A and B are shown apart, each in its own frame.
Chain A
Amino acid sequence: MLDIRDLRVTFPGAPTPALRGINLRLEGGKMVVVGANGSGKTTLIRSILGLVPPTGGTISFGGRDVRTIRSEPGLSTNLAEVYRLMSLPVRDLVRLYALLKGGDPAEMEGRLREFELDAVLGKRLHELSTGQQKLVGDLFAVSFQPRLVLLDEPFDNVDFARRRRLVRLLQELPAGVLLNTHELELLGPFAGWQLGLMFEGRLLGPFSVAELDRLFLTRGAIPGALAVLGTSLGTFSVTRDAGDRLVKSATSLNALVESLA
């Protein structure tokens, strides 16, 4: 469904690339990508959406290069910027995107009720709190029968009860999911999902979230390692069952690498 080969992105004037040779294949499965702020997670999603032109490599969705895709409603996202087509109350935006995606507005209105967000229907996006905006984006992303959902930090500013509901919704969603987060401690409920580790524009993996408590990061290039990562702080290896530090023990990848550097 999603096939990314050697994707490279360098923004004009930037001293270093934002993405360096990303390879990723997702055939209807679900994957979490963990990385620190600025590691390239959002750029990866924006590239797949066609919002960032690649410097090199290819991205295809459903066998078609995303640069040539037109009128293919199967891919959705929670990025707020793509729902700013015009300034309308959320109720009208839901109807508009249901029309554009070929879905039923009642589906998303039902989800908004389920998340106790009925009150936002009469408000415009800029009138919502940060957490409400994030949730409305999340619910847009999972509504109207998408085949692949790209979620950028979907739990940011979302309260605990709604996070749990959202996790359950994502687990049950009959679609492929690529979910970005910088919080390693959020991965518990996603045991059955694939795991990618993103650092300085490189994507390591796929691993399995279930084996997170067996993955270690070790300084240097270890023969037979699952992956070797060259960073501005040195070279590190991802190993299984033994190594310098358990990946899961850190709050973020940055903290993990810096503790070993």
Chain B
Amino acid sequence: MNLTRCYAKAILTNGSLWFWAVAFMTMWLGIGAFLESQGVAATRSAVVAYTTSWYAVIVLIALSLLAAVIAGSYAYGSSALAYAFRYSRLTPAGYLISIVGGSALLGLVLNVVLLGATAGMFGVRFATTLLPVDPAALLGVSLVGGVFFMALSSTLALLAINHLGLRSADFVGYVPLVLSFVLGNAQLYVTFPRWFIYGSPFNDLTSLLYQGYSGSTPTVELGTATVPLDWIFLVLGILVWTAAFVGCTLVLLRRIRSRQLEERRQI
């Protein structure tokens, strides 16, 4: 059994992860479909835009939740990792590939479930077919998104373990989730400048998910004009951020400090 298979098995058989990242997020999609949709205009374009926006934000939050929970386990395994990097064949790069591979796999499964739930529930609510235009692109984006969130959450968790102490680890773990919620939702109501969307990995992801689901290019207001976002810059944005956080994670993993779990107790 190789390490990636071990992680995939540990993650895929974790009931709590399934509940919070899949069932709980599907429930939120249900709220979007049946409770929050009263004011949506009865036009095809409005329904597609509403459905797609909900899908994009929920995927963003679900991926960040998934990554935060998995990265939280660094605190439990800090001694095991510090020991294994010295006294076994495990390397930081090998470990990172395994944990990112395992979580990206669950991210992929998660996205398939959320895609099905979105198309099903919103389709029933609006009595129309709301299938994604480019499901392959959506799976690709969710895979990259899974890696990005895992790398971001890992960087934050390892910073807490190595430099701040385990008491900070719980709080630091919420940062990607809060940013996903705030920036994902804000894009629906606030006119962000184009550079901000290209530079924000959270908005790169929501924009790409929006484009993959609806087939429409997302736009931003520029003065009085509406201009489309270029998907190449969106893809570049998320890839650069992902590479940066993967690099940070590797550096921090090499120096992981053994911590006693009891240190995590807040009160």
Task: Give chain A's interface residues, CB within 8 Å of chain B.
Answer: 46, 49-52, 66, 69-77, 79, 81-88, 92, 95-97, 99-102
The B213-267 residues at the A interface (CB cut-off 8 A) are 258, 260-261
A75 x B87 contact (CB < 8 A): yes
A76 x B80 contact (CB < 8 A): no
Shortest CB-to-CB span from B172 to chain A, Å, is 20
A-contact 0/1 string along B62-90, CB 8 Å cutoff: 00000000000100110111111111111
Known: A49-B87, A86-B10, A101-B88. 8 other contacts (CB 8 A): A46-B258, A66-B86, A71-B88, A75-B86, A88-B10, A96-B3, A100-B88, A100-B90
Shortest CB-to-CB span from B156 to chain A, Å, is 20
B127 interface residue, CB < 8 Å from A? no
**Chain B residues, CB < 8 A from A81:** 79-80, 258, 260-261
A-contact 0/1 string along B1-26, CB 8 Å cutoff: 11100110110001000000000000
B187 interface residue, CB < 8 Å from A? no
Q: A51-B258, A71-B89 known; A85 and B9 CB under 8 Å?
A: no
Q: A84-B77, A92-B9 known; A49 and B83 CB under 8 Å?
A: yes
Please, which residue of chain B has its CB at the minimum distance from the CB of A74? B87
Q: How far is the CA of A81 from the CA of B262 in the complex (A)?
A: 12
B185 interface residue, CB < 8 Å from A? no
Shortest CB-to-CB span from B265 to chain A, Å, is 16
B91 interface residue, CB < 8 Å from A? yes
Shortest CB-to-CB span from A169 to chain B, Å, is 21
Q: 8 A–B contact pairs at CB < 8 A?
A: A50-B86, A69-B86, A73-B87, A79-B79, A92-B6, A100-B88, A101-B88, A101-B89
Q: Please provide the 10 A-B residue pairs with the shortest distance between their CB atoms, ordered closest to farther.
A: A100-B88, A51-B258, A82-B83, A81-B79, A85-B80, A95-B1, A86-B10, A75-B87, A69-B86, A84-B80
Q: A49-B87, A101-B88 known; A88 and B82 CB under 8 Å?
A: no
Shortest CB-to-CB span from A189 to chain B, Å, is 28
Task: Give chain B's interface residues, CB within 8 Å of chain A.
Answer: 1-3, 6-7, 9-10, 14, 73, 76-77, 79-91, 258, 260-261
Number of residue pairs A-B, CB distance < 8 angstroms: 88
Q: How far is the CA of A86 from the CA of B75 in the complex (A)?
A: 11
**Chain B residues, CB < 8 A from A85:** 77, 80-81, 84
Please, which residue of chain B has its CB at the minimum distance from the CB of A49? B83
Q: A51-B82, A51-B258 known; A96 and B6 CB under 8 Å?
A: yes
Considering residues A79, A86, A87, A102, which has the most beta carbons from chain B within 10 angstroms of its beta carbon?
Answer: A86
**Chain B residues, CB < 8 A from A49:** 82-83, 86-87
**Chain A residues, CB < 8 A from B86:** 49-50, 66, 69-72, 75
Q: A46-B258, A86-B6 known; A96 and B79 CB under 8 Å?
A: no
A71 x B79 contact (CB < 8 A): no
**Chain B residues, CB < 8 A from A101:** 88-89
**Chain A residues, CB < 8 A from B79:** 51, 79, 81-82, 84
**Chain A residues, CB < 8 A from B80:** 81-85
Shortest CB-to-CB span from A140 to chain B, Å, is 11
A86 x B88 contact (CB < 8 A): no
**Chain A residues, CB < 8 A from B81:** 85
Shortest CB-to-CB span from B73 to chain A, Å, is 7
Q: A92-B6, A100-B88, A100-B90 known; A86 and B77 CB under 8 Å?
A: yes
